[in-house]
Structure 1
Amino acid sequence: MKRYFIVAAAALIASCGNETSRSEQEEIAETERAIAAAEGPPAIAIEPQEMTFADFERNAIYGAGCSFALSEGGEAIAVALGEAGYLKVDGEVARFAPDSGSEENPLGTRSRYDGLEHGFRLAIEPDDGAEAASYPARLTVYDGRNRVVYEAEGSASCGA
């Protein structure tokens, strides 16, 4: 009888070990599915476009601020003002809200602007505090999950 009890206990322990391992495998698979769902689809790269004079007029983009271009004297692809930021993608100019907690750039602009689908960071390296100047800059555009979808070095022209 004792021997029967020991064999039954061993079988029970062995079966528990198998169930635990299966439960662990199910838990790992469930965790992997949750991570994949949280990450969502891969980030989709975008290509900001140059803004035209008509874009500035149509969207009432004026005042003291900084515009980012890929080269000094080039056309703006991003504009940072104290009260809003602008970026043109797929032919549409989108308006962004300044992040008041982000670093301040020249003329009361901010380094970070947030929108519905995207946001952007404008890192400007001012050197002399002049009212109207051009500075080396970096534009980083990110999606709603804070994944970089565009990044470029260029020039920020700041003035009124």
Structure 2
Amino acid sequence: MRRIVFALFLLPVLVACGASEAPEEPIDMDKINEDAMGPVDRIEPEPLTFRKLSEHDLLGAGCNFTPDASEEPVFVVDQTRAHFLLENRLVGMSPDVGSRELPYGVRTEYDGLTHSAEIWLAMDTAKAQDSDQAADTEQAADTEQAADAEQAPDTEQVQSPEVTYYRGTLEIRDPRGRFAYSATGQWQCGA
């Protein structure tokens, strides 16, 4: 009798162990990692006016990027550094010397403490501008320079005789390598 009671007691336990559950969905590790990093903080670089470029000593041989939706450059780059303005603070980056070299010693990749950037120039869209054309397009900048020169009469003004324009793209990434800013526009390279 004991055996029968024991068997009746053990029977539901054995039936429960043998029941198969519905298969679980596979774990999406990419989704888990993405959720752990939080949302991407999108940025909008601020325009770099001639005055700001002068104040921060960012004038010279190199390139600057003006997005299609803007009239002022938002990113300047030369052989040794790249900069953009974010929340009225200048963000600097150093060139990745292993990346491809572009005109005027500019590199395609730059890394900083808080952001990194990647530059693409469509080399087949280069449009050189001679000194007569450059004089017309720099007339507005000359007006601003003249106002600065009135404030500082000992300031020497230097104009570049040649500028080359390229269609291109600028991408800025956050500290975790995610796209924080991406724009297509015009790269202006010159001395």
The 3 A distance-change label for structure 1 pair 157 and 151 is same
Determine the C-alpha separation between the residues in 2 that align with 1:87 and 1:111: 15
Which residue in the other structure is 2:79 paired with?
Answer: 82
Which residue in the other structure is 1:64 paired with?
Answer: 61
Determine the C-alpha separation between the residues in 2 that align with 1:36 and 1:148: 13
Which SS does the other structure have where 1:57 is aligned? Answer: helix
The 3 A distance-change label for structure 1 pair 44 and 73 is closer
The 3 A distance-change label for structure 1 pair 32 and 62 is closer
Which SS does the other structure have where 1:125 is aligned? Answer: strand
Q: Is 1:99 aligned to residue 130 of structure 2?
A: no
When normalised by structure 2's length, the TM-score is 0.63
Structure 1 residue runs of 5 or longer lacking an equivalent are none
- Deviation at residue 53 of structure 1 after TM alignment: 2.1
Determine the C-alpha separation between the residues in 2 that align with 1:34 and 1:71: 36
Determine the C-alpha separation between the residues in 1 that align with 2:32 and 2:118: 30
Identical columns (%): 31
Which residue in the other structure is 1:153 paired with?
Answer: 184
Determine the C-alpha separation between the residues in 1 that align with 2:34 and 2:186: 38
Determine the C-alpha separation between the residues in 1 that align with 2:30 and 2:68: 44
Determine the C-alpha separation between the residues in 1 that align with 2:63 and 2:114: 22
- Deviation at residue 141 of structure 1 after TM alignment: 1.1
Residue identity opposite 1:54 in structure 2: R
Determine the C-alpha separation between the residues in 1 that align with 2:79 and 2:89: 21
Residue identity opposite 2:112 in structure 1: G
Off by >6 Å, runs of 4+ in structure 1: 31-34
Determine the C-alpha separation between the residues in 1 that align with 2:31 and 2:171: 30
Q: Is 1:119 aligned to residue 119 of structure 2?
A: no
The 3 A distance-change label for structure 1 pair 53 and 33 is closer
Which residue in the other structure is 1:49 paired with?
Answer: 46
Which SS does the other structure have where 2:33 is aligned? Answer: helix
Q: CA RMSD in A?
A: 3.6
2:47–2:72 Cα contact (<8 Å) kept? yes
- Deviation at residue 77 of structure 1 after TM alignment: 0.4
Higher Cα radius of gyration: 2
Determine the C-alpha separation between the residues in 1 that align with 2:85 and 2:97: 22
Structure 2 residue runs of 5 or longer lacking an equivalent are 129-161
The 3 A distance-change label for structure 1 pair 134 and 72 is farther
Determine the C-alpha separation between the residues in 2 that align with 1:49 and 1:141: 13
- Deviation at residue 35 of structure 1 after TM alignment: 2.9
The 3 A distance-change label for structure 1 pair 17 and 61 is farther
Give CA-to-partner distance per residue, 1:31-53, whole Å, 9 cap, x none: 79963564x11101111111022
- Deviation at residue 129 of structure 1 after TM alignment: 9.5
Determine the C-alpha separation between the residues in 2 that align with 1:77 and 1:52: 9
